[in-house]
């Protein structure tokens, strides 16, 4: 079997989790013994599409019409598009229609989590029996703790003491204001947000971003392992995710993780076991205070998070994808 995993990226590395998921799943399938190509013009037996852009949409319609096996992957939703760019909330209802017409072309429709699977069935009226939840996956070994990398990046970013980090686009949806307001409550602790800021004027910002001096924004970092190893607490107050690959990365790195209590984490991240979850800014500050002051709590949560991440290792993801491909091709 030859699988084509096509990520329409316009010749650039797309920011965010989609490129990471695609790269991880290419490696996962290769580890499972599946031959992989990434160019649809090369011979293949099944096509797996990652984004709903124009060429991918053309291919989806073509393969659907010709009866050739095709997988569509839900990495974008109108829900996580909201509160991102200027005008995104107005566009979101139309974007949902575009997404629905693309995703339904798949013989199988993949989502990163059970949460997104149920959301796709309910909000996009897609047949639940065709939707399969498959983790984006993580290269567990690659993101394991590394003291050499930790020392290098802590020195580079002048980190000392317990450091709090987050990673992702600088959007309101990612919880940027919660992060900044929390940093103001802990002036003696350094907070670092690694991630890309959209061009000025394009980002939907209800109020100015006014970080205190202890909150640093180094920008996009090419090696996420550097950020993960350098920090001590992974603080991720996002309001909406389809999985949150950075959470998997932080878990594999053994970080103490503090999340917003949102449905996507319900069935794999558990408060008090492998993370802490907060519903309000006050709760976030209470839990941050506990994590900053209690090393044993950080270590206990980090060890449990690593066990969770191991379940999402690319070996397990590759085998599951291989079985889905085989069933899809047999169904044709």
pLDDT tier, 299 (very low <50, low <70, confident <90, very high otherwise): very high
Better-predicted residue by pLDDT, 202 or 309: 309
pLDDT tier, 322 (very low <50, low <70, confident <90, very high otherwise): very high
The whole-model pTM stands at 0.93
Token digits for 130?
């065709």
Lowest mean pLDDT among 88-97, 121-130, 158-167, 257-266: 88-97
Mean pLDDT, the chain, as a whole number?
93
* CA angle, residues 172, 287, 290, in degrees to nearest 5: 145
Distance between CA 241 and CA 112 in Å, rounded? Answer: 10
| Beta bridge pairs of residue 236 | 259
Token digits for 171?
């959007």
List, in order, residues 6 or more apart from 301 with CB less than 8 Å away: 256, 257, 273, 274, 275, 276, 291
Please count the CA atoms within 13 angstroms of the CA of 183 that sit on its side-chain side.
Answer: 25
Q: What is the mean pLDDT of residues 78-93?
A: 81
What was the pLDDT predicted at 90?
87
Digit-coded pLDDT (tens) for 99-125: 999 999 999 999 999 999 999 999 999
pLDDT tier, 13 (very low <50, low <70, confident <90, very high otherwise): low
Q: What is the mean pLDDT of residues 292-320?
A: 97
pLDDT tier, 222 (very low <50, low <70, confident <90, very high otherwise): confident
- Which of 221, 246, 255, 235 minimizes the C-alpha distance to 144? 255
Fold entry, domain 2-137+313-331? Rossmann fold (3.40.50)
Q: Under a CB-based contact definition with an 8 Å cutoff, are residues 247 and 257 in contact? A: yes
Domain boundaries, the chain: 2-137+313-331, 147-311
Q: Is the pLDDT of residue 81 over 90?
A: no
CATH number of 147-311: 3.40.50.2000
Q: Is the pLDDT of residue 287 over 70?
A: yes
What was the pLDDT predicted at 198?
66
- Tell me the helices (H) and strands (E) count for the chain, helix number first: 12, 12
What was the pLDDT predicted at 97?
95
Digit-coded pLDDT (tens) for 156-168: 999 999 999 999 9
- Structure letter (DSSP) for residue 173: G
Question: Which H/E stretch holds residue 203?
Answer: none
Is there a shared CATH topology between the 2-137+313-331 domain and the 147-311 domain?
yes
What was the pLDDT predicted at 3?
98
What was the pLDDT predicted at 206?
74
Distance between CA 134 and CA 110 in Å, rounded? Answer: 7
Question: Which H/E stretch holds residue 324?
Answer: helix 314-331
Distance between CA 152 and CA 135 in Å, rounded? Answer: 31
Better-predicted residue by pLDDT, 183 or 223: 183
Q: Is the pLDDT of residue 323 over 70?
A: yes
Q: What is the mean pLDDT of residues 303-309?
A: 98
Q: Is the pLDDT of residue 183 over 90?
A: yes
What was the pLDDT predicted at 207?
81
What was the pLDDT predicted at 118?
96
Burial class (CB in 10 A: 0-12, 13-18, 19+), 167: buried
């Amino acid at each position: 079997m030859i699988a084509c995993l096509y990520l329409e990226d316009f010749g650039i590395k797309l920011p965010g989790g989609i490129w990471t998921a695609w790269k991880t799943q290419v490696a996962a399938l290769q580890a499972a013994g599946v031959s992989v190509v990434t160019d649809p013009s090369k011979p293949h037996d099944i096509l797996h599409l990652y984004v709903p852009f124009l060429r991918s949409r053309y291919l989806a319609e073509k393969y659907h019409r010709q009866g050739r096996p095709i997988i569509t992957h839900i990495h974008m939703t109108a829900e996580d598009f909201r509160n991102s760019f200027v005008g995104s909330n107005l566009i979101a209802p139309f974007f949902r229609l575009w997404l629905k017409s693309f995703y339904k072309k798949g013989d199988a429709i993949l989502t990163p989590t059970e949460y997104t699977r149920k959301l796709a069935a309910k909000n996009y009226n897609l047949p639940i029996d065709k939707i399969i939840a498959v983790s984006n996956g993580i290269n567990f070994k690659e993101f394991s703790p590394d003291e050499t990398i930790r020392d290098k990046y802590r020195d580079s970013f002048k980190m000392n003491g317990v450091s709090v980090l987050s990673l992702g686009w600088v959007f309101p949806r990612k919880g940027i204001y919660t992060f900044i307001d929390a940093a103001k409550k802990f002036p003696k602790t350094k907070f670092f947000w690694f991630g890309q800021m959209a061009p000025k004027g394009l980002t939907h910002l209800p109020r100015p971003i006014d970080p205190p001096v202890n909150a640093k924004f180094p920008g996009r970092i090419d090696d996420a392992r550097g950020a993960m190893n350098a920090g001590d607490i992974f603080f991720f107050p996002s309001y909406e995710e389809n999985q949150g690959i950075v959470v998997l990365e932080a878990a594999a790195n053994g970080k103490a993780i503090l999340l917003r209590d949102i449905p996507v984490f319900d069935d794999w991240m558990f408060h008090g076991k492998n993370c802490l979850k907060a519903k309000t800014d006050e709760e976030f500050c209470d839990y941050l205070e506990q994590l900053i002051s209690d090393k044993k709590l950080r270590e206990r949560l980090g060890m449990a998070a690593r066990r969770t991440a191991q379940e999402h290792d690319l070996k397990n993801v590759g085998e599951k994808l291989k079985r889905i491909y085989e069933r899809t091709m047999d169904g044709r």
